[in-house]
Structure 1
Amino acid sequence: MPSYALLVEYDGAAFYGWQRQAAGPSVQQALEEAASRLNGGVVPLATASGRTDSGVHAEGQVVLMTLSADLPPERLRAALDFHTRPHRIAIRAAALAREGWSPRFSALRRHYRYRILARRAKPALEEGRVWHVPLPVDHEAMHAAAQLLLGRHDFSAYRAASCQADSPLRTLDRLDVLRQGEEIHLLASARSFLHHQVRNFVGTLYEVGLGRQPIGWPREVLDGRDRQLAGQTAPPQGLCFLRVDFPEPIDWRA
């Protein structure tokens, strides 16, 4: 049976995250149920390169799925894109996956973006896509503080209490804070992240952006390895899974 790689975009607002769970609908469930219509009614397993939380969006989630139907990737993409309706899920592209390839374990680097809308007026068009803060934010101070977190560290201070990772050690390759008009964007890249790590970065750096804490404070929090010393966990709607890097390019067909 052929295995396919899928490039998936979704609005996480209506889902309880990527992974199937009893609490409510998930992206995995919606995608697997859509694929069952092409798989003789059998629900296949969909494996993702990253498990996004409830309310978190994705532009370039990569998914592996094995089906009994032997379809050209472009036909599979179109069929799955149709059957995922009315969910806000788009199958952007598909490709045949080579044997042994895994979207999770073959990944070299994952990239996320967090958006803060820093203005007094609430969002209208971007509601559910940004964290709205009605206060001025110093993105340059946030960026300077973020650079002190790069490299390989014990990120216990920035992991969720419910994090199931075996080790808090991670290598952070990028943590940039940029201004785009009224928005502040935080761009994070690493091979893998701990549960809530990016959102905890944002909540902690936000304190620096407001001038409540000095630039060196997030690094002090890191070295303290105590989650209670860090800032709040930023809300999920501002976070988006952007893309994944693999050792070899994927022959995407749209």
Structure 2
Amino acid sequence: MRIACGIEYDGNPFFGFQMQKQEPTIQSCLEQAISQVANHPVKIFCAGRTDTGVSARQQVIHFDTDAERTPRQWTLGINTALHEGIVVLWVQVVADDFHARFSALSRSYEYRILNRSVRPAINRQYLTWILRPLDHDAMHEAAQTLLGTHDFNAFRSSQCQAPHAKRTLLQADVVRDGEEIICHFSANAFLHHMIRNIVGTLLKVGHGNKPVCWVTEVLRSLDRKQAGMTAPPQGLTFTGVTYPDQYQIPNDATKQ
């Protein structure tokens, strides 16, 4: 039996999603908690791995089990055993051909910037603070040049293990809400550090150091050295995943 879950987590206490030597990771905590409820070892698969410090409002995972539990029993049992920085939002049985990663049609993130002259005290671990004024309209205009299917090699890290850099960017919006600038991104998939590198590049436009058209030049260069800095991870949140309707997977934190 294949089980899918919606997961919310605070990325700050963890060394990213994927299991590694440094602990704790989100994957290791989830596998330990789910295995405890299932009474057998469980391996999970996620829609998209996140880096150290990156949070998620609606990550999706799946695992296989022979254990008979109701969705409520899974949810309550796993949450009782989980690290306080992670919570299961919903649980449902899915078709055997469902895969949290490979069945996904798109993934969405947001990047939040506090743009004011003094540092934040509240929610500081979930924001990137930029004290110099930013032109969010110029940033938004520049971001539109990245929409569509392109080779995003200029925006991926040197550690990226993807076999190619071709991705389809579906949304790239930059809006201001008072002192906050929020960047919304959706794509069929993202490369390692792709969003943080795009944001770092857009910041050069927002500061007026580069013109809007420069972002297109960076994209076409296919050269990571031509792009801006890698923006800090704290402002980045994984916000949702979309799947084919046949799987009936929710794309937000609400369920039924």
TM-score by length of 1: 0.96
Q: Partners in 1 of 2:27 and 2:147 — Cα distance? A: 32
Question: In the alignment, is the contact (CA less than 8 A) between 1:112 and 1:239 conserved in 2?
Answer: yes
Q: For residue 119 of structure 1, what is the aligned residue in structure 2?
A: 116
User: What one-letter code is carried by the residue in structure 2 that aligns with 1:223?
Assistant: R
Q: For residue 96 of structure 1, what is the aligned residue in structure 2?
A: 93
Deviation at 1:68, TM superposition (A): 3.3
Deviation at 1:126, TM superposition (A): 1.0
After superposition, where does 1:68-147 map in structure 2 within 5 Å?
Answer: 68-85=66-83, 87-147=84-144
Q: For residue 39 of structure 1, what is the aligned residue in structure 2?
A: 38
Question: In the alignment, is the contact (CA less than 8 A) between 1:114 and 1:185 conserved in 2?
Answer: yes
Deviation at 1:78, TM superposition (A): 1.4
Q: For residue 62 of structure 1, what is the aligned residue in structure 2?
A: 60
Q: Partners in 2 of 1:123 and 1:8 — Cα distance? A: 27
Look up the SS of the partner of 1:128 in the other structure. helix
Look up the SS of the partner of 1:92 in the other structure. strand
Q: Partners in 2 of 1:214 and 1:109 — Cα distance? A: 30
Deviation at 1:66, TM superposition (A): 1.9
Question: In the alignment, is the contact (CA less than 8 A) between 1:74 and 1:253 conserved in 2?
Answer: no
Q: Partners in 2 of 1:246 and 1:78 — Cα distance? A: 25
Q: Partners in 2 of 1:78 and 1:243 — Cα distance? A: 22
1:182 and 2:179 matched: yes
Q: For residue 7 of structure 1, what is the aligned residue in structure 2?
A: 6
Q: For residue 22 of structure 1, what is the aligned residue in structure 2?
A: 21
Structure 1 segments, 4+ long, off by >3 Å, are 251-254
Q: Partners in 1 of 2:102 and 2:85 — Cα distance? A: 27
Question: In the alignment, is the contact (CA less than 8 A) between 1:200 and 1:230 conserved in 2?
Answer: yes
> What CA RMSD, in Å, does the superposition of the two structures yield over aligned residues?
1.3
**Deviation per residue, 1:101-152 (Å, 9 max, x gap):** 0010110110000000101121111111010111111100000000011111
Q: Partners in 2 of 1:28 and 1:82 — Cα distance? A: 16
User: What one-letter code is carried by the residue in structure 1 that aligns with 2:65?
Assistant: L
TM-score by length of 2: 0.95
Q: For residue 238 of structure 2, what is the aligned residue in structure 1?
A: 241
Deviation at 1:226, TM superposition (A): 0.6
Which stretch of the first structure deviates more once superposed, 173-182 or 66-75?
66-75
Question: In the alignment, is the contact (CA less than 8 A) between 2:242 and 2:249 conserved in 1?
Answer: no
State which of 158, 162, 185 in structure 2 corresponds to 1:161: 158
Unaligned runs of 5+ in 2: none
Q: For residue 210 of structure 1, what is the aligned residue in structure 2?
A: 207
Q: For residue 225 of structure 2, what is the aligned residue in structure 1?
A: 228
Unaligned runs of 5+ in 1: none
Q: Partners in 1 of 2:187 and 2:27 — Cα distance? A: 23
Q: Partners in 1 of 2:114 and 2:176 — Cα distance? A: 10
Total equivalences in the alignment: 251
